[in-house]
Amino acid sequence: MAQKPGIPKGTRDFSPAEVAKRNYIISVIRKHFELFGFQPIETPSFENSSTLMGKYGDEGDRLIFKILNSGDFLRKVDDALYTSKDSTRLTGKISEKALRYDLTVPFARYVVQHQNEIDLPFKRYQIQPVWRADRPQKGRFREFYQCDADVVGSQSLWQEVEFVQLYDTVFSALGLKGVTIKINNRKVLSGIAEVIGEKDKLIDFTVALDKLDKIGEEGVKKEMLEKGISEAAIEKVQPLFRFTGTAVEKLDRLSELLGSSEEGTKGVEELRFICNTIEATGLEAATLDLDVTLARGLNYYTGAIFEVAASGVAMGSIGGGGRYDDLTGIFGLKGISGVGISFGLDRIYLVLEELGLFPETVTSSSRALFINFGEAEALYSIKAIQSLRRSGIKVELYPDNAKMKKQMQYADKRSIPFTILVGEDEMNKGHYTLKNMQTGEQKAVSLKELTEVLAV
Amino acid sequence: MAQKPGIPKGTRDFSPAEVAKRNYIISVIRKHFELFGFQPIETPSFENSSTLMGKYGDEGDRLIFKILNSGDFLRKVDDALYTSKDSTRLTGKISEKALRYDLTVPFARYVVQHQNEIDLPFKRYQIQPVWRADRPQKGRFREFYQCDADVVGSQSLWQEVEFVQLYDTVFSALGLKGVTIKINNRKVLSGIAEVIGEKDKLIDFTVALDKLDKIGEEGVKKEMLEKGISEAAIEKVQPLFRFTGTAVEKLDRLSELLGSSEEGTKGVEELRFICNTIEATGLEAATLDLDVTLARGLNYYTGAIFEVAASGVAMGSIGGGGRYDDLTGIFGLKGISGVGISFGLDRIYLVLEELGLFPETVTSSSRALFINFGEAEALYSIKAIQSLRRSGIKVELYPDNAKMKKQMQYADKRSIPFTILVGEDEMNKGHYTLKNMQTGEQKAVSLKELTEVLAV
């Protein structure tokens, strides 16, 4: 009985055109990762459950895909536990492996496991799929790629400078102008918490402040008061409500505001070094913007926080990252600082599509189709095809001696720009009739001319 | 509590050097797939279990990795079934998804599901990992890549011709000389079965014949008799025991031998077309050899059968494939013929490694490391680094102002061929001191000279 075929929700098939475009983005990212001295590693798709569980919070634990043990997996489950029919308890007994949830925890595991083969600072990149049992929705999938670059083993702020440059050059190479690289620092956020007097109100505070554009200063202050932040505290951070200007101007105001906080002052200094250096070296296509409301991944970042926004399209962040001071501590290797950034492949794809920025040369199609008129003609054609392919030109032979109309339609549907016709006349003269599928124009050419026309 | 980190058995971490080499092989294969007009698709890592189960035999069903349903997966399991504590029956109730086992079944599913978007003949390639719960052993992993190219929707033998050429050009591009592309045809095997009078003895027959090199003609005949193949039958296929010479010579003898079998004669004709065409077009680095003992995947191949062996190394096949007349029938689309080949990435890697065929340029290392002598020097360096990277040269800045010896050791360990030293003198003169790490030679150069030396 034939089944109606389908794929699991939240997963995708990628067509040739989609793969070509995705590979284009990945190749640009990979090229720049390597230019910046990052080295590729790959880790297994599934890890021991103990490596992943407990690393992403309770929500994360639930969203990790677990793999059922092979064979008679119930045999070793003791009857008392089995009888309880408790999914959570049973999971630990019948599943020992789980699909990768992100690239950061496997990277930390890799660094600890291979610490004797690695030279610190270790600059690695990793471009691999991850899986999350999230409820699928527009733009959120259960299988998606992450493209990460991280450095471990150095606290130098030159890394942060280079990550800003890396974002700039990648988006510039993709033709994406006007990208904003937002930067903040966890220590600045801690400083603000100190200044407003209540550490536990920090998230309420930044969430409210983030709405400044939408609800105005009065609206923000109202929300802050509702969340229990005192008027005195709000008064103290008044400069944040007129927080415009260049990064340097903003830093001067922050510096004054956070003068009483040692940690806040350290954060301002770090940001100043990064912003001044970027000012001195310049950016190609992006703008660096200091955004004190940026609180992404507040739980684990300890220094710089990055997020990238495209301009001209309504789209969430297309990249993000930051510094985490104790990346490998969970696996027993203490005191190794890490900093890294990530590129959001799916969103970058949507942005490039919407702005029409994929180059025309990004295609999976052949340059020309040789029409098949029979055995002798096909043999004559296949020799030319061999030669063209050796010159790096994608060409194909229609495999069957089908009606010419059918073969032409095939070329047309696949957007193959040229067809090549070979009959007795061409074979006698050593020629090829080249047809431009767009204009309909035909001309007789030699193999040399054919090679020149088809080379891109 | 820190855990001692590890990975599941049968899986692998890939170091930067390994990823660089694997990517080199994949990029060569991908480039030639595209030159030959194959288009890339990608399918999800996990499929609905119903798509995969029952497609690979009982053994396959057991080796497919199943994914546990999310959430309270036991809630809907009825008590009677649960109480039976039967792993196999429970699996169907608590797991609906499974990891891809090969690329062929997902491809068949893709063709049927997207039949209205696809133009036949459809030439697709796919390079993705697959997972098998096999017992891990040397060279056999639970996660490994497959690199497949297939055409569906055409019965033309020109496909087979092109696949032989594709194998030839890929292995030629990888520098692997003397590869043997073995070819056989399922119809020839059927013809032999007809001639020896017993279809069910075919596998015993080919297995015995395959040992000719090792145990000699008498040994083979003895084994055949033991397996119940009659003396008369063995007498009839006597020519197979002296089966040497060119493909054309072998075909002449086969033709005579199988003259009484319609199917066998058809198989010989198909092989003759392929061998004659390859003879006419020539091969670069490989030899096409007719091997009537080749019975790979006998269960599903219906026409040509391919297998590739490297020379000069003890290694199983590094590629294989064939034609299957009803690829998509399992998903309800009848009468679609397919033919395809696969490249064995892991074995090709081992062969290239053993023969020292990886180009020296295949490396994940940077060309030069700028030594960090402090903030001003690093800023001067980072400007040169920006310029070099724009010229496509991989360079990096040591992030910390560490002891020079430590920085030099870092370059050395990572096999970075050059270091660049910048002090006050260099900054004043607008120079860079370039040090060749192999010879120890140092010289002062301008940025332009630096770019020229470092460009590869």
CA B70/CA A99 separation, integer angstroms: 13
Q: Does B103 belong to an annotated binding site?
A: yes
Lookup result for tokens 């590729």:
A40
**In this structure, are A142 and A31 located in the same domain?**
yes
CB contact at 8 A, A359 and A24:
yes
CA B437/CA B418 separation, integer angstroms: 5
CA A5/CA B115 separation, integer angstroms: 11
In A, minimum Cα distance to B88 occurs at: A72
Question: Rg of chain B over CA atoms, in angstroms?
Answer: 29
CA A452/CA B5 separation, integer angstroms: 56
The contacts of residue A405 (CB under 8 Å, 6+ apart) are none
The pLDDT, as a whole number, for residue A164 is 98
Specify if B11 maps to a domain.
Answer: no
The contacts of residue A391 (CB under 8 Å, 6+ apart) are A451, A455
CB contact at 8 A, A292 and A196:
no
CB contact at 8 A, B303 and B187:
yes
Q: Which residues of B touch A5 (CB under 8 A)?
A: 51, 109, 112-113, 331-332
Residue A216: other Cβ atoms inside 10 A: 12
CB contact at 8 A, B341 and B306:
yes
Q: How many domains does chain A fold into?
A: 2
For residue A130, the distance in angstroms to the closest alpha carbon of chain B comes to 10
**Contact check, Cβ <8 Å, A117/B15:** yes
Q: Does A100 belong to an annotated binding site?
A: no
CA B73/CA A88 separation, integer angstroms: 9
Residue B288 forms beta bridges with which residues?
B181
Tokens encoding A34: 């390597």
Tell me how long chain B is.
456
Helix (H), strand (E) at residue B159: helix B158-173
**In this structure, are B269 and B414 located in the same domain?**
no
Lookup result for tokens 């009959």:
A423
Specify if A157 maps to a domain.
Answer: yes
Q: Which residues of A touch B124 (CB under 8 A)?
A: 16
Q: Does B104 belong to an annotated binding site?
A: yes
Helix (H), strand (E) at residue A352: helix A345-354
Give the amino acid at A329.
G
Q: Does B110 belong to an annotated binding site?
A: no
Assign residue A417 the CATH number of its domain.
3.40.50.800
The contacts of residue A411 (CB under 8 Å, 6+ apart) are A369, A419, A437
Residue in B70, B75, B82 closest to A133 by CB: B70
Coil, strand or helix at A273: helix
Q: Does B150 belong to an annotated binding site?
A: yes
Lookup result for tokens 């630990």:
A92
What pairing do the DSSP bridges indicate for beta strands A319-324 and A338-343? Answer: antiparallel
B174 backbone dihedrals φ, ψ, rounded to 5°: -85, 0
**In this structure, are A258 and A375 located in the same domain?**
no
For residue B297, the distance in angstroms to the closest alpha carbon of chain A comes to 23
The pLDDT, as a whole number, for residue A46 is 98
Q: Which residues of B touch A280 (CB under 8 A)?
A: 379
Label residue B417 exposed, middle or buried (CB < 10 Å: 0-12, 13-18, 19+): middle
The last residue of one of the domains, among A355, A385, A407, is: A355
Helix (H), strand (E) at residue A319: strand A319-324
Specify if B10 maps to a domain.
Answer: no
Buried b (16+ CB within 10 A) or exposed e, B418-428: bbbbbeeebbe
Q: Which residues of B touch A42 (CB under 8 A)?
A: 13-14, 19, 22
CB contact at 8 A, A101 and A131:
yes
Helix (H), strand (E) at residue A396: strand A395-397
CA B39/CA A142 separation, integer angstroms: 25
Specify if A7 maps to a domain.
Answer: no
The last residue of one of the domains, among B320, B355, B390, is: B355
CB contact at 8 A, A191 and A177:
no
Return the closest-CA partner of residue A100 out of A62, A48, A57, A152: A48
Interface predicted TM-score of the whole assembly (ipTM), two decimals = 0.93
Specify if B87 maps to a domain.
Answer: yes
Specify if A238 maps to a domain.
Answer: yes
Q: Is the peptide bond before A239 cis (omega within 30 degrees of 0)?
A: no
**In this structure, are A144 and A56 located in the same domain?**
yes
CA A151/CA A125 separation, integer angstroms: 9
Residue B425 Cα to chain centre, angstroms: 54
Residue in B7, B13, B386 closest to A165 by CB: B386
Residue in A41, A68, A119 closest to B13 by CB: A41
Tokens encoding B430: 């607008």
Range of the domain at A441: 365-454
Q: Does A134 belong to an annotated binding site?
A: no
Block means of pLDDT (10 residues each) for chain A, 456 residues, are 80 97 97 97 98 92 96 93 94 97 96 95 97 90 97 96 98 96 94 85 82 86 91 86 86 93 96 96 94 77 94 89 90 93 96 95 90 97 96 96 96 95 96 97 97 92
**In this structure, are A339 and A406 located in the same domain?**
no
Q: Which residues of B touch A413 (CB under 8 A)?
A: 119
Assign residue B346 the CATH number of its domain.
3.30.930.10
CA B157/CA B339 separation, integer angstroms: 10
Coil, strand or helix at A118: coil
Specify if A2 maps to a domain.
Answer: no
The pLDDT, as a whole number, for residue B456 is 73
Residue B434 forms beta bridges with which residues?
B420, B443
**Contact check, Cβ <8 Å, A277/B382:** yes
The last residue of one of the domains, among B331, B355, B379, is: B355
Q: Which residues of B touch A87 (CB under 8 A)?
A: 71-75
**How many angstroms separate the first and last alpha carbons of chain B?**
48
CA A102/CA A130 separation, integer angstroms: 6
B423 backbone dihedrals φ, ψ, rounded to 5°: -125, -165
Residue in A68, A129, A165 closest to B95 by CB: A68
The pLDDT, as a whole number, for residue A1 is 45
For residue B313, the distance in angstroms to the closest alpha carbon of chain A comes to 27
CB contact at 8 A, B398 and B349:
no
Return the closest-CA partner of residue A303 out of A176, A421, A154, A201: A154
**In this structure, are A84 and A164 located in the same domain?**
yes
Residue in A41, A66, A74 closest to B68 by CB: A66
**In this structure, are A375 and A274 located in the same domain?**
no
B420 backbone dihedrals φ, ψ, rounded to 5°: -125, 125
Residue B408 Cα to chain centre, angstroms: 39
Q: Does A301 belong to an annotated binding site?
A: yes
**In this structure, are B346 and B374 located in the same domain?**
no
Lookup result for tokens 């900054």:
B427
The alpha carbon torsion through A347, A349, A350, A356 (nearest 10 deg) reads 140
A420 backbone dihedrals φ, ψ, rounded to 5°: -125, 125
A50 backbone dihedrals φ, ψ, rounded to 5°: -65, -25
The greatest distance separating any two alpha carbons of chain B, rounded to the nearest whole angstrom, comes to 95
Mutant choice from B39, B82, B169 vs A, greatest count of A C-beta within 10 A: B39
CB contact at 8 A, B387 and B451:
yes
Residue in A133, A158, A379 closest to B280 by CB: A379
**In this structure, are A416 and A351 located in the same domain?**
no
Pick out chain B residues at pLDDT < 70.
1-3, 297-299
Residue A367: other Cβ atoms inside 10 A: 18
Lookup result for tokens 């992006």:
A286
Tokens encoding A367: 């340059």
**How many angstroms separate the first and last alpha carbons of chain A?**
48
Residue A350: other Cβ atoms inside 10 A: 16
**Contact check, Cβ <8 Å, B19/A2:** no
Q: Does A296 belong to an annotated binding site?
A: yes
Specify if B400 maps to a domain.
Answer: yes
Give the amino acid at B5.
P
Residue B304 forms beta bridges with which residues?
B185
Tell me how long chain A is.
456
CA distances to A243, A267, B343, B416 from B404, in Å = 43, 29, 47, 15
**In this structure, are A378 and A248 located in the same domain?**
no
CB contact at 8 A, B204 and B311:
no
pTM of the predicted model, to two decimals?
Answer: 0.94
Q: What's the half-sphere exposure (Cβ side, CA atoms, 13 Å) at A155?
A: 7
The DSSP secondary-structure symbol of B330 reads G
Four-residue CA torsion sign, B68, B74, B77, B81 = positive
The pLDDT, as a whole number, for residue A2 is 54
Q: What is the DSSP string of B53-116?
A: TTSSHHHHHHHSPEEEPSSSTTTTS-HHHHHTT-HHHHHHHHEEEEE---SHHHHHHHHHHTTT
The pLDDT, as a whole number, for residue A138 is 82
Q: Which residues of B touch A12 (CB under 8 A)?
A: 44
**Contact check, Cβ <8 Å, B37/A396:** yes
Return the closest-CA partner of residue B195 out of B288, B244, B303, B268: B268
**In this structure, are A310 and A406 located in the same domain?**
no
Tokens encoding A316: 């969430």
**In this structure, are B317 and B395 located in the same domain?**
no
CA B382/CA A239 separation, integer angstroms: 34
Return the closest-CA partner of residue A330 out of A41, A160, A110: A110
Label residue A44 exposed, middle or buried (CB < 10 Å: 0-12, 13-18, 19+): buried
Mutant choice from A125, A134, A141, A156 vs B, greatest count of B C-beta within 10 A: A156
Return the closest-CA partner of residue B210 out of B121, B295, B305: B295
